[in-house]
């Protein structure tokens, strides 16, 4: 909060703690034209509003690398099985809501049913010319799999901001080109990105 706030705004940074969530609010909207959708998809270049503060935090080891915080927060929530955080631009600031709720079991059941349905109905698309969007998505998919080799197609679709069907088509293309391999079963296995 110290690194990202807009110090030209006299309002306070606020942390509210509830039984089921913690809300963090900082003055200053997202910096450098970045949108919440950009944050969720990872499609942005990190820019610092407070360069000297960011540099000081990095030098003392409180920041791993610039622009990695949101992805790390989401990854930790997935690893602990808690509900994904929400991100909002609110008034003249930015709010993050972290939940203390486990992901509903019905989410996993729905994802598995959708996975099976999509696999049965739409796996055999022909591999066609690769557009810039396809290449970008393919690289993003491989990066997400390198971070978490048990990630689901639904989770990848959420990160990138496209439909699950699009992700399944991209995965098939990556498998055909020998860039991606599935190890084990659909339910209990994992992905392997082939360098």
Q: Does 9 map to a domain?
A: no
SS3 call for 96: strand
Burial class (CB in 10 A: 0-12, 13-18, 19+), 159: buried
User: Is the same domain home to 175 and 126?
Assistant: yes
Q: Does 5 map to a domain?
A: no
Q: Does 133 map to a domain?
A: yes
pLDDT band at 123 (very low <50, low <70, confident <90, very high): very low
Domain boundary among 45, 73, 99: 99
pLDDT in tens, 9-56: 888 899 999 988 999 999 988 888 888 888 777 777 777 788 888 888
Task: Give pLDDT, residue 129.
Answer: 41
Section 179-186 average pLDDT: 86
Counting the structural domains of the chain, the total is 2
Task: Give pLDDT, residue 22.
Answer: 92
Task: Give pLDDT, residue 15.
Answer: 93
Q: CA dist 179 to 5, 67, 146, 168, Å?
A: 41, 27, 12, 14
- Of the segments 5-9, 34-38, 122-126, which one has the largest average pLDDT value? 5-9
User: Is the same domain home to 112 and 91?
Assistant: no
Domain boundary among 99, 123, 149: 99
Task: Give pLDDT, residue 126.
Answer: 38
With 0.85 as the threshold, say if the pTM is over it.
no
pLDDT in tens, 76-114: 888 888 888 888 888 888 999 998 888 765 455 555 555
Q: Does 28 map to a domain?
A: yes
Task: Give pLDDT, residue 184.
Answer: 84
Instruction: Give the pair of three-digit tokens for residue 149.
Output: 């080799």
Supply the mean pLDDT for the chain: 79
Closest Cα partner for 25 from 1, 51, 55, 8? 1
Section 106-135 average pLDDT: 51
Domain that holds residue 144: 105-193
Cβ pair 161, 176 in contact under 8 A: no
Tell me which DSSP letter residue 137 carries.
H
The whole-angstrom separation of Cα 147 and Cα 179 is 16
């Amino acid at each position: 909060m110290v690194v990202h706030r807009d110090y030209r705004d006299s309002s306070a940074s606020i942390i509210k703690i509830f039984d089921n969530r913690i809300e963090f609010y900082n003055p200053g909207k997202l910096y450098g034209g970045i949108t919440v959708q950009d944050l969720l998809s990872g499609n942005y270049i990190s820019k610092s509003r407070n360069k000297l503060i960011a540099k000081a935090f990095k030098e003392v080891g409180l920041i791993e690398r610039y622009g990695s915080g949101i992805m790390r927060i989401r990854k930790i929530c997935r690893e602990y099985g808690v509900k994904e955080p929400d991100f909002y631009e609110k008034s003249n600031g930015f709010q993050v809501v972290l939940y203390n709720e486990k992901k509903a079991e019905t989410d996993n059941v729905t994802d598995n049913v959708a996975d099976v349905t999509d696999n049965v109905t739409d796996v055999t698309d022909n591999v066609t010319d690769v557009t810039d969007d396809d290449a970008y998505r393919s690289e993003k998919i491989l990066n997400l799999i390198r971070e978490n080799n048990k990630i689901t197609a639904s989770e990848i679709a959420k990160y990138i901001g496209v439909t699950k069907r699009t992700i399944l088509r991209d995965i098939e293309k990556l498998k055909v080109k020998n860039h991606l391999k599935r190890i084990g079963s659909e339910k209990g296995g994992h992905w392997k990105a082939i360098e």
